[in-house]
């Protein structure tokens, strides 16, 4: 059994995270694959190094989740991933496109996003592929790798009623990863939720509705060793009115060891006021903050964003960083930013490992191991270096 990992790729203001489970399965959350060059790391290369190939030599992820269809969450899909039936996988040429064995997709989030913006070609292609898979399920009643899909959240107006077998409702647990279930993985789907009124629907549309999942990733005999809360770009209304209202008496649903700050450390996740307009006068929404403060001891909070600086830009926002730092401090935890890890000049993927005792940054366990072996090496040296 491998040590499970959670890897954040440095993709600027965007998201791209890979979970590797102890049984070797992989879950990719969002992608923002830009052309590498000055200041842009080759994250496609990083990703591919982490992926296995199937018996046909095709690289694959077991699952890809799309939190919502903004371009900074699906950039590079058409160019680098195989869409369509595996029977049409090219034998030569583009033969190394990544296969998505199973999609986790939300038609509800799509519908809301398409009301506020024009969808990119990558976003449209994801939706077309999701529809192909759902249709195949309707026709055949079962799906194989490369055709699998699980739908995140019931769609509005009964649109998913005839495929409920592949729908996970908000508040339910996901226990299957590409057709396999085992004790060291489950995930709680927290959003999207159906609107309760017209006003609610309008707010959900404006607040960057996203798939929000709290992953429980285990190892050995500890099934929920690490809880990782991943929330796309969900903004303040969702944390305040949909999640805290619902879970304030059951806050363990929101509890985490690792949090990816929603919307690239945006102020709009924590406040109804604008940062550029009100600055320090802007008020924190206490309920949203509570929803995002359910830390377990030693929690890590990661901003997947550009470097956070003291200016009017948002995201990322320096005052949001301050709030998250204070949340982390109260848990003896740590706040990190993908853009400056390990240094601003050359950001690298940020890897966490899952151990029985919780989450550990791989760069620390690695340097501790190196120090131990260096010490051991010194210990075997003859003691003759003192008199030069
Ligand atoms: Zn985004």
Quick check: is 119 in a domain?
A: yes
Cα–Cα distances in angstroms (integers) from residue 371 to residues 224, 360, 375, in the given order: 30, 17, 6
* Element (DSSP H or E) covering residue 335: strand 334-337
The total of structural domains in the chain comes to 1
Q: How are the residues of the chain apportioned to helix, strand and coil, as percentages rounded to the nearest 5?
A: 35, 25, 40
Report the Cα 322 to chain-centroid distance in Å.
22
Tokens for 313, please give them.
């830009």
Task: Decide if 382 is inside a domain.
Answer: no
- The answer to whether residue 103 sits within a structural domain is yes
For residue 73, report the distance from its CA to the centre of ligand 1, in Å.
6
Q: pLDDT averaged over consecutive 10-residue blocks of the chain (388 residues)? A: 94 98 96 96 97 94 98 97 95 79 97 92 98 97 96 93 96 97 95 94 92 96 93 97 97 98 98 94 98 98 97 95 98 98 96 95 82 66 39
The CATH number given to whatever domain includes residue 280 is: 3.60.15.10
Alpha carbons 188 and 368: distance in angstroms, whole number: 34
pLDDT tens-digit series, residues 215-268: 999 998 888 899 999 999 999 999 999 999 999 999 999 999 999 999 999 999
* Residues around ligand 1, an ion, CB closer than 5 A: 72, 233
337-364 pLDDT, tens digit per residue, is 999 999 999 999 999 999 999 999 999 8
How close is the Cα of 233 to the center of ligand 1, in Å?
5
In-domain check, residue 309: yes
Cα 269 to middle of ligand 1, angstroms: 12
CA nearest to 46, candidates 17, 78, 81, 87? 17
Q: Report if residue 90 sits inside a domain.
A: yes
For the segment 315-339, what is each residue's pLDDT rounded down to a tens digit?
Answer: 999 999 999 999 999 999 999 999 9
Token pair of 339 as six digits: 């853009």
Q: Is the dihedral of CA 122, 185, 107, 117 positive or negative?
A: negative
Retrieve residue 102's tokens.
């199973």
Structural domain includes residue 387? no
Q: Give the whole-angstrom CA distance, residue 231 versus residue 217.
A: 16
Compute the distance from residue 297 Cα to the ligand 1 centre, in Å: 28
Q: How far is the CA of 38 from the centre of ligand 1 (A)?
A: 21
Containing domain of residue 238, as a range? 5-363
Per-residue pLDDT at 242: 96
Ligand 1 center from residue 337 Cα (angstroms): 15
State CA 388 to chain mean position distance.
Answer: 55
Please give the distance, rounded to the nearest whole angstrom, from the Cα atom of residue 70 to the centre of ligand 1.
6
Specify if 378 maps to a domain: no
Residue 245 resides in a domain: yes
* CA 179–ligand 1 middle distance (angstroms): 29
């Amino acid at each position: 059994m491998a040590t499970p990992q959670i890897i954040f790729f440095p993709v600027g203001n965007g998201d791209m995270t890979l979970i590797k489970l102890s049984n070797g399965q992989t879950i990719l959350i969002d992608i923002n694959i830009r052309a590498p060059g000055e200041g842009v790391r080759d994250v496609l290369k990083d990703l591919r190094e982490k992926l296995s190939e199937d018996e046909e030599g095709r690289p694959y992820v077991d699952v890809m989740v799309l939190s919502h269809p903004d371009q900074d969450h699906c950039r590079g899909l058409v160019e680098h991933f195989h869409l369509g039936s595996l029977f049409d996988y090219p034998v030569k040429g583009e033969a190394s496109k990544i296969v998505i064995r199973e999609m986790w997709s939300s038609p509800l989030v799509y519908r809301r996003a398409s009301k506020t913006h024009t969808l990119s070609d990558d976003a449209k292609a994801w939706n077309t592929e999701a529809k192909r898979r759902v249709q195949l399920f309707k026709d055949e009643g079962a799906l194989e790798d490369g055709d699998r899909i699980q739908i995140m959240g019931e769609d509005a107006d009964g649109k998913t009623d005839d495929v409920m077998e592949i729908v996970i409702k908000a508040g339910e647990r996901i226990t299957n990863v590409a057709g396999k279930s085992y004790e060291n993985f489950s995930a709680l789907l927290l959003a999207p939720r159906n609107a309760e009124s017209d006003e609610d629907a309008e707010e959900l549309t404006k607040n960057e509705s996203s798939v929000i999942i709290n992953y429980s990733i285990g190892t050995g005999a500890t099934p929920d060793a690490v809880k990782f809360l991943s929330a796309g770009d969900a903004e303040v209304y969702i944390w305040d009115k949909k999640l805290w209202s619902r879970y304030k008496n059951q806050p363990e649903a929101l509890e985490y060891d690792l949090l990816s700050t929603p919307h690239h450390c945006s102020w709009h996740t924590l406040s109804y006021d604008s940062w550029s307009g009100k600055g320090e006068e802007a008020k924190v929404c206490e309920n949203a903050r509570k929803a995002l403060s359910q830390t377990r001891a030693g929690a890590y909070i990661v901003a997947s964003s550009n470097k956070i600086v003291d200016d009017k830009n948002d995201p990322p926002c320096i005052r949001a960083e301050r709030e998250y730092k204070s949340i982390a401090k109260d848990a003896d935890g740590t706040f990190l930013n993908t853009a400056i890890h390990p240094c601003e000049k050359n950001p690298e993927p940020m890897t966490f490992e899952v151990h029985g005792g919780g989450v550990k940054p791989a760069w620390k366990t690695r340097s501790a191991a190196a120090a131990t072996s260096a010490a051991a090496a010194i210990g075997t040296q003859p003691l003759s270096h003192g008199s030069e």
